[in-house]
Structure 1
Amino acid sequence: MDFTSYRRSARKTAPEEPLAALYPHDVNMYRISPKNEISIFEFEEIALGRLKLLRIIEQAAPKGNKLYSDQWKTCIKDDLTKAGLKKYVRLMGGTSGTSDLDYQARRADYISHFILRLAYCRSEQLRRWFLSRELEWFWIRFTAQSREGVRNFLRIFKFSHSPISEDEKNSLRHELEASTMGLHVFDTTEFYKVPFTEVCSLVKGRKVFIKAGFAYIPSSELVVCIQSKFRAELSEELTWYSHRVHLFDDERIAPLLANFHNIHTGQSYTIRQNQESVDPANLDVYSKKHFPPCMKHLHEVLRAEHHHKHKARLTYGLFLKAIGLLYEDALKFWRDEFTRKMDLNQFEKNYVYNIKHMYGLVGKRVSYSPYSCIKIITSSVGPGEHHGCPFKHWDAGLVKQKAIECGVSLEGANEIKELATNGHYQLACGKYFEYTHGKAPESGINHPNQYFEESMKIEKEASGNKK
């Protein structure tokens, strides 16, 4: 994580200091590379925690919450609490407390930010995603600060911004009241005088008073100015990292970082003790009522063509294993289908080992986990293959048609199509779930097996209510 031997001499590194000196504030500009020594376990743990944080932030607005609104922040806070990310919830409080828990939360936030820089500097698309999420996370914490917290931040990170004097404020009272949008109480509002180029979005929206090249912004809009500076610095740093990440060749963590964006951060769906087994005779019914579109499609293709290529067999086979299809039943299920097109000897020679391998009975004897939405979405799908995400790999018109065939209204099908067209594939799947089940999933759809479990739960609840 330390690139100091390759970097320009002006770059600073953090000395070994007490946590109170290293992390004095809940909001950070991340200007100094950390020198901390941490274990591989902690490295992975805090990195995955921040990835969960950024994905939760990403999912909040498409759920119907206006970006930066109180509802948006509440949604993020609730989802962080559900995910057990208490450290990040603590940083949303705006207290900049001095307890050990406060310092540990800031430490995890700081180090994990730099770890994800290594993971997300590798392409323009990844850099844009990471930059957008970090800007939103910065805004959440900065706007939670009290007046004293903002002043401490400006002092710690050596910003020259300071409130204008009362005399200047009163002399411009008429102009400030007329030009400042959303101003409710003039007398208790502090105004900052900043170069207008630092708040172009406010100038464009005609939300501030400008005089002699300076914009007079209320304290509530100071975040726009500071966030703009944060964006410029982080964007430059990500570009710098992208040119030198090849120098980082630690074999212990390089594979993790290279594939970080494809990691599933939710529940790992494997066969669990006391899990109910699935009767293969019920798969046709389950496919229609409880399978997500990707697995429903694989099931229908298998029934129609009596064959799947390798990636489709893995995708569907691991999904079936995780919902409770036992090895003996799985072997019979695949054998009955495949032997409609081939003889038994060919099936046993070419496919039985693969099925045993999925169940960890041969080879490394690992109980492989089923594929997550991220893995399915990012997989390549060639001609004649069916293992991809319908919302990404199908034509938008076909997505709409299939939704209508499954009982979704025209309006709902158009909404699903729009989400898929705009690249919100998991949100489109969640909306499909909502229209076909009469209620939204408890959390965003991140895994085919999560979709199945939530669908089965709704059916069981409905059956219980009828009794």
Structure 2
Amino acid sequence: MDFTARKRKSLRLIPNNSNSQYSLDLSMYNIPPIGETSLEEFETLAIERLQLMRVLEQAASKGHKINSEEWKKCIKEDLNKLDLKKFVRLMNGLDGQTELDINARRADHLSHFILRLAYCRSEELRRWFINRELEWFRLRFMVQNQTTLNRFFESNKLIYSPISDPEKNAIFNELLMSTFNMSDVNIKSSNFFKVPFSEVCSLIRSRRVFVKLGYAYIPTNELIVCVQAKFRANLSEALNVANHRLPSLDDDRINTFLLNLNHSYTGKDYTSPSSERKEMDIADLDLHSKKHYPLCMRHIHETLRATHHLKHKCRLQYGLFLKGIGLTLEDAMDFWREEFTKLMDHNKFEKDYAYNIKHAYGKAGGMVNYSPYSCMKIIMDSVGAGDHHGCPFKHWDSHLMKQKLMDYGVSTEGIDAVLELVKGGHFQIACTKYFEYTHSMQPPSSVINHPNQFFEESIQMSGEKKKA
């Protein structure tokens, strides 16, 4: 990838005719892309890769054991929901050579290198990216047949030759006693590889393989451990190199995009309410706040009702949420005016607050139709003393969180589960767990990543219809 080019009409990335480069579903990503792509495709591929990474992260958080069939099924379902069929295609191990297969591999290759630029900037970002890429690599590796794996090894100069049958027969009993979950029939029909024990320390530690004279004898299905170790080492080094070269990437268009990519929202757009439901009646807000609001919005609503005022950031967070669930500008003006004029006269409200409400709806100032805040934006916002905006799961202490959850009817079991997730920094998953424990243990369709998603799924689950 060229870090020095200053071309404005396109970015140098990849040639059009690259079928030979993309003949395999699996890649070590050793060869950077060259050629050109549009800025629009650059951004699209980055967002799609980020969606893939987040799907992988969330699959394990749903309680599925990594690499289990349930985990794989969950990933496929979520990718299909996001219309990321190109990645689903790479999970099937079909080794196809159609145009769709080539395009899927090309997108996988380009998007990987784009995200390297976004996630090489800090140790925390690098760690997250490497873990997700390892999961994605293993997912595809385990569905390849031996012929495809041999082609992959050859193309990447990875030398793994199975031991001969006489050698295997000589240590047959040792393999039978030491190899995890393999019968004598499996051992006879499987290839075994002799590798330095230092490459498979995790297998030795868990006593899954036979070791002799400094070498481990591993079946084909355990080769992933060796290859993954090389993949991790190569990627870690590549991210460090990319970080050192970032200063030479001097295109402001992509610099700004990459700098903020890890905070990007990749879900549904809630700028306008769902077409399935019309306007929200302000008379229903108190009831909806108890039944269908996420914790952040319920807390803000209750604070507004109790104090009849909110600070600017808090008004923005809640006001845009209300806009997203269907509150019209006219009703929003009435709602905020009714509350605020309990502490001030109408003239002060019209002078100091009415303009900001119109501005949020794109009816004043730059006429921008602002989007409701995503969970990531709310989580990353700064919160000071006396503020009520932000994400409760991140910004509240455990005592306040526990008390609020008790007040809202969450069971002791649920409180413990939520607090454990909060302790681990899994704020959106904690919100998802809160959804489950406030909806008779019915989970949402996916991990909560937007307050308006929480509201929409809660409404749909209850079967309620908003007033037209």
CA contact (8 A) 2:278 2:326 kept: yes
Question: 1:343 corresponds to which residue?
Answer: 345
Question: 1:18 Cα deviation (Å)?
Answer: 3.5
Partner of 1:2: 2
Q: 1:274 to 1:94 in 2, by over 3 A?
A: closer
* 1:193–1:217 contact (8 Å) kept in structure 2: yes
Q: Secondary structure at the match of 2:193?
A: strand
Residue 287 of structure 2 corresponds to residue 288 of structure 1: no
1:395 is displaced (CA, Å) by: 1.1
Match of 1:193 in 2: 194
1:166–1:274 Cα change, 3 Å: closer
Q: Where do residues 102-113 of structure 1 align in structure 2 (5 Å cutoff)? A: 102-113=101-112
SS across alignment from 1:58: helix
- Judge which range, 344-353 or 293-302, deviates more: 344-353
Correspondence 1:408 to 2:407: no
**Distance (Å, rounded) in 1 between the aligned partners of 2:205 and 2:317:** 49
Q: Report the more deviating stretch, 316-325 or 73-82.
A: 73-82
CA distance in 2: counterparts of 1:89 and 1:106, whole angstroms: 11
CA contact (8 A) 1:80 1:89 kept: yes
State the partner residue of 2:81: 82
Looking at structure 1, the residues matched to 221 and 459 of structure 2 have their Cα atoms a distance apart, in angstroms, of: 47
User: Is the counterpart of residue 149 in structure 1 residue 148 in structure 2?
Assistant: yes
Please tell me whether the aligned partners of residues 53 and 132 of structure 2 are also in contact (alpha carbons under 8 angstroms): yes
Question: Residues 437-448 of structure 1 correspond to what in structure 2 (within 5 A)?
Answer: 437-438=439-440, 439-448=442-451
Tell me, yes or no, if the aligned pair for 2:4 and 2:248 is still in contact at 8 Å.
Answer: no
Shift of 1:14: 9.1
Please say which of residues 396-405 and 144-153 is displaced more in the overlay. 396-405
* CA shift digits 1:4-59 (9 cap, x unpaired): 79xxxxxxx99858422111210100011111311111111111111110100000
What are the residue-to-residue correspondences of 1:50-89 with 2, within 5 Å?
Answer: 50-89=49-88
Shift of 1:326: 0.8
Question: Paired residue for 2:438?
Answer: 436
Q: Give the distance between the partners of 1:306 and 1:241, measured in 2 at CA.
A: 51
Query: Which residue does 2:461 correspond to in 1?
Result: 458
User: Cα deviation per residue 1:295-348 (whole Å; 9 max; x = unaligned)?
Assistant: 001111111122111111111000001111111111111112122222322222
How far 1:230 sits from its partner (Å)?
Answer: 0.2
Alignment match, 1:22: 21
Between the aligned partners of 1:346 and 1:308, the Cα distance in structure 2 is 15
What is the distance in 1 between the residues matched to 2:173 and 2:158? 28
CA distance in 2, matches of 1:338, 1:249: 48
1:397–1:417 Cα contact (<8 Å) kept = no
Distance 1:15 1:454 in 2: 41
On the 8 A contact 2:379/2:390 being kept in 1, the answer is: yes
Change beyond 3 A, Cα 1:4–1:347: closer
Q: Is the 8 A contact 2:2 2:13 kept in 1?
A: no
Quick one: distance in 2 between partners of 1:15 and 1:213?
A: 44
Residue in 1 aligned with 2:9? Answer: none
Secondary structure at the residue paired with 1:22? coil
Query: Match for residue 271 of structure 1?
Result: 272
SS of 1:216's equivalent in the other structure is strand
What is the TM-score with the length of structure 1 in the denominator?
0.94
The equivalences for 1:194-209 within 5 A come to 194-209=195-210
1:222 maps to amino acid: L
Q: CA deviation at 1:383?
A: 1.4
Mapped to 1, the partners of 2:61 and 2:293 lie a distance apart of: 23
1:160, CA displacement in angstroms? 1.3
Q: Are 1:178 and 2:177 matched, yes or no?
A: yes
- Aligned equivalents of 2:457 and 2:83: distance in 1? 20
State the number of aligned residues. Answer: 456
Paired amino acid for 2:432: G
Deviations 1:211-240 (A, max 9, x none): 222111110000010001000000111111
Kindly report which structure 2 residues correspond to 1:262-411, keeping only aligned pairs within 5 A, or say none: 262-272=263-273, 275-411=277-413
Q: Distance in 2 between matches of 1:162 and 1:337?
A: 75
Read off the aligned partner of 2:131 and give its amino acid letter. Answer: S
Measure how far apart 1:99 and its partner are.
Answer: 0.5
TM-score for both structures, normalised by structure 2: 0.94
Deviation at 1:84, TM superposition (A): 0.8
One-letter amino acid matched to 1:126: L
User: Secondary structure, in 3 states, of the residue corresponding to 1:187?
Assistant: helix
CA distance in 2 between partners of 1:277 and 1:337 (Å):
20
Aligned to 2:8: none
What letter matches 1:258 in structure 2? L
Structure 2: give runs of 5+ residues left out of the alignment.
Answer: 6-11
Structure 1 residue 125: Cα displacement? 0.9
Do the aligned partners of 1:2 and 1:33 also contact (CA within 8 Å) in 2?
Answer: no
Aligned pair 1:420/2:419, yes or no? no
Residues of 1 paired with 2:52 and 2:43: CA distance? 14
Partner amino acid, structure 1, of 2:249: F
Q: Which amino acid aligns with 1:24?
A: S
Aligned match of 1:9: none
Are residue 32 (structure 1) and residue 31 (structure 2) matched? yes
Q: Does 1:238 align with 2:239?
A: yes
Distance 1:113 1:36 in 2: 16
Give the stretch that moved more between structures: 62-71 or 109-118. Answer: 62-71
The root-mean-square deviation of aligned C-alpha atoms, in Å, is 1.8
- 1:446 aligned counterpart, secondary structure: coil
Deviation at 1:75, TM superposition (A): 1.0
Alignment check: 8 A CA contact 2:14 2:36 kept: no
Residue 302 of structure 1 contacts residue 337 of structure 1 at CA under 8 Å; is this kept in 2? yes
2:310 & 2:123 partners in 1: Cα distance? 35
Tell me the SS of whatever aligns to 2:279.
coil
Task: Say if 1:4 and 1:455 are closer, same or farther in 2 by CA, change over 3 A.
Answer: same
Question: Structure 1, residues 362-405: CA drift from partner, whole Å, max 9, x if none?
Answer: 11111111001111111111111111111111112322222221
The percentage of aligned residue pairs carrying the same residue is 55
Contact 1:335 1:347 in 2 (8 A): yes
Q: Please name the residue that 1:251 is paired with.
A: 252
Segments of structure 1 that go 5 or more residues without pairing to the other structure are 6-12
Say which is worse superposed, 331-340 or 318-327, in terms of deviation. 331-340
Provide the C-alpha distance between the structure 2 equivalents of 1:244 and 1:37, rounded to a whole number of angstroms.
20
Alignment check: 8 A CA contact 1:291 1:452 kept: yes
Q: Which moved more, 1:99-108 or 1:308-317?
A: 308-317
